[in-house]
Structure 1
């Protein structure tokens, strides 16, 4: 959406070089001389307090007149000094929240640095009330309001750290205990700081016991076997080789979109060993292949599919697309396995050296367009009315794996001696899915059990109603 001239907006710089002014008589060799029209010349030195000399896709918050909002932009710059590198998407999200806060200030003529004695007149409480109004009118979700409030709180904390002194508290802070499960499924509690502002956005937890969705990095819907078959048949009818191979990879490995479309040709170069049923491909940090949070794991690609990927990597169709690519990598085999007809990546890796050339690097939009413009219409034409997202294929793989393993070790007939074997099954599913928390894997087991119970009860009730109608 294009912002009007009267709105605060976020502009993204493709590349930001970080420097600091210096009047040193012996500047470093990399420094360059600045000669302003008015004032003394100075040197621009690399910013030593930051871990990175530059940042790609750096967001800047601009006021309606086009001038940068100084405090917000200095806060964003300070985030580059974090020990844990912040992603440009996270930084852009923070900038968007601050832009929303700034727009509210200008619309209501509020000085965000003026903190009066009356608590409800302070800018933090007034902005919190404004967010509650937006939630009440269903303009935004409570979770969005809570995130924006948290961003503003962190901004004010930085202002205080930066030397700004406020005469009155900006919120009431207290200690609270947070319950969570560790990677092994053990329950723990941790003491955290909480404020009356963010606590005000608590919502009643909804029950999803018999929902058709499960939680795995978002709400996912595992596709039943008949829908998976219909999906593959539709892909074969359409004949898009890249999409067919990518969808099959998702269904057989559970890999996310960002992982599949950042595979390089070198990852399918080595032949599988004789007698093996799958080929191992390492993904994550250090492999050029993106995963969520860079987590390292191994994909087990069925040999029959891996062989097709090898054939495709050397096919005239792919080589024509490679020839159209404007990006030349240090090694030829570091080119993406899947490219669009124009030679562009479907999803550009975060470490890609050419990412700065794009204001918004490709993030799978072409895949989403394919689903809506070609795949769904084809399914509808052949009598299928279900909808899905690419990420649902990951959940479908997870449920296929769970069903297959539990058919071998049924919970109904499990004895105490078989329990350890069942736990090993759970751990295997977790490893294949790359779950950091065991509770996420347990969600697949609970989904299978609860959804089947709900379906069975509904079926029995419908049969009961049908029998009553027949008797009449």
Structure 2
């Protein structure tokens, strides 16, 4: 991993603004000209693939560099994922002593098909998920496609390819169709999607589980017992706004400096693109922080505990308001924004690992100590917020007199929940409504059936069971 990759073209010709670089004693100095093939001159946290002998895998690293050519360069985490897939392929090549450029006349002897077979073996042994295998094969195919554009000639096809029609719904809910390239290699990995209508999870950027009211209460009591102020406020912010981990922990002090409008019950905080607060895909949205929570955060910001952590921080920003709202005991951010100028100081910038560690080492043991053994992740708080919000609307609409009013209000509720949670597609928001209707019905039916079984069992003579 290169923390800071500088891209330029070396030249012996001096241009206006050229920067001279000193070479070795046996060679002459050269000038650095702006690179013409990449969008930016500097990239942070750039991955490279290195062979066991310390040498670079030239073709793969050139391919990674080519991914920086777009007007909007690929994000470093995406590039790191691609590099990881290719590194996995490289290790397999070296173990099997296979030349990735040697394409046999026999299809099953070609590197692409042999690697595909290997991935299927890993799946059967439970070492790999089909989704991961499909992604790795896709990364490999893109690499080979790039090789062909670079002039590499292969005597035989690397796979069988055809066009496939993909049906989907856009952000407004309209049915759309687009053509995609499909190969026999990627099609061989069948990723079975769960069709469990009564699942306890909601698909919202991952499998999320809304916490029932009793588990929410237990969670709050456990946080109170532990006494970690940063975690308590962060959890409440997630429960009250539906913000993801990356958003909660990249909030800055400046977001809580303003005085709310007179009579306001919440305070608006803009996050996403154009702000220092991170969101998924940089999506712009507004968090509505309840006034009671906003005031508690302001009290925390003026506390000795908060100022002590700020003093320990090695990141000195132009303004105090640019500092992260929550810092660890060592003065480091829990989650570092991608546009943070200090990110290059870290080989792997903080990405919420300390939060996960807190949940695993402190919060869950405290819950277990009080008899609660439910599983949860920080991201589940987002689904909990969405369900709580929808429940509030449904309770309000229960007073409606006509079916038409209920239907109109439900549509309004979905639109409002969608806006508050920043959903691109209305289908994601509808999943919360479907969850409420189907999962609750399933629980009621299960409860009734269990009561019926219990009554039947009570009629059995206990003497007959001895």
TM bin, normalised by shorter chain, reads over 0.9
1:86 maps to which residue?
74
1:15 partnered with 2:4: yes
Q: Which residue of 2 aligns with 1:167?
A: 155
Match of 2:291 in 1: 303
The 2-side partners of 1:70 and 1:37 are apart by: 27
Decide whether the 8 Å contact of 2:200 with 2:439 is kept in 1: yes
Deviations 1:256-296 (A, max 9, x none): 11101111111000111121111110000111000000000
Find the aligned partners of 1:296 and 1:233 in 2 and give their Cα distance. 33
Structure 2 runs not aligned, ≥5 long: 461-466
Q: Is the 8 A contact 1:28 1:45 kept in 2?
A: no
Q: C-alpha displacement at 1:417, in angstroms?
A: 4.7
Counterpart secondary structure, 2:186: helix
Partner of 2:463: none
Normalising by structure 2, we get a TM-score of: 0.95
1:112 is matched with: 100
- Distance in 1, Cα, partners of 2:185 & 2:52: 28
State the partner residue of 2:242. Answer: 254
Conservation of the 8 A alpha-carbon contact between 2:242 and 2:386: yes
Name the CA shift for 1:141/1:413 in 2 (closer, same or farther; >3 Å).
farther
Q: CA deviation at 1:312?
A: 1.1
**1:178 maps to which of 142, 156, 166:** 166
Structure 1 window deviating more from structure 2 (157-166 vs 203-212): it is 203-212
Distance 1:418 1:13 in 2: 57
For 1:446 and 1:138, locate their aligned partners in 2 and report how far apart those are by CA, in whole Å.
32
Q: Name the CA distance, whole Å, in 1 between partners of 2:365 and 2:140.
A: 44
SS in 1 for 2:243: coil
Per the TM alignment, residue 416 of structure 1 is displaced from its structure 2 partner at its CA by: 3.3
CA gap of 1:139–1:23, structure 2 versus 1, over 3 A, is same
Distance 2:4 2:401 in 1: 60
**Within the alignment, does 1:395 sit opposite 2:395 as a pair?**
no
**Counterparts in 2 of 1:315-330, with a 5 A limit?**
315-330=303-318
1:218 aligns with 2:206: yes
CA offset digits 1:412-452 (Å, max 9, x no partner) = 98623542332111111111111111111111111111111
**3-state SS of 1:130 partner:** helix
Query: CA deviation digits over 1:324-358, x for unaligned, max 9?
Result: 11111111210111111111111111110000000
Comparing 96-105 with 203-212, greater Cα deviation is found at: 203-212
CA distance in 2, matches of 1:249, 1:95: 35
> Which ranges of 4 or more aligned residues in structure 1 deviate by more than 3 Å?
33-44, 410-414
Separation in 1, partners of 2:157, 2:25: 43
Are the equivalent residues in 1 in contact too, given 2:20–2:29 (CA < 8 A)?
no
Which residue of structure 2 lines up, in the alignment, with residue 205 of structure 1?
193
The 1:230–1:121 alpha-carbon spacing in structure 2 relative to 1, beyond 3 Å, is same
Post-superposition Cα deviations, 1:129-182, rounded to whole Å, max 9, x if no partner, equal: 111111111110000000000000000111111111212221111111111111
- Report how many aligned residue pairs link the two structures: 460
Secondary structure of the 1:60 match is coil
CA distance in 2: counterparts of 1:43 and 1:378, whole angstroms = 61
Aligned to 1:312: 300
- SS of match in other structure, 2:31: strand
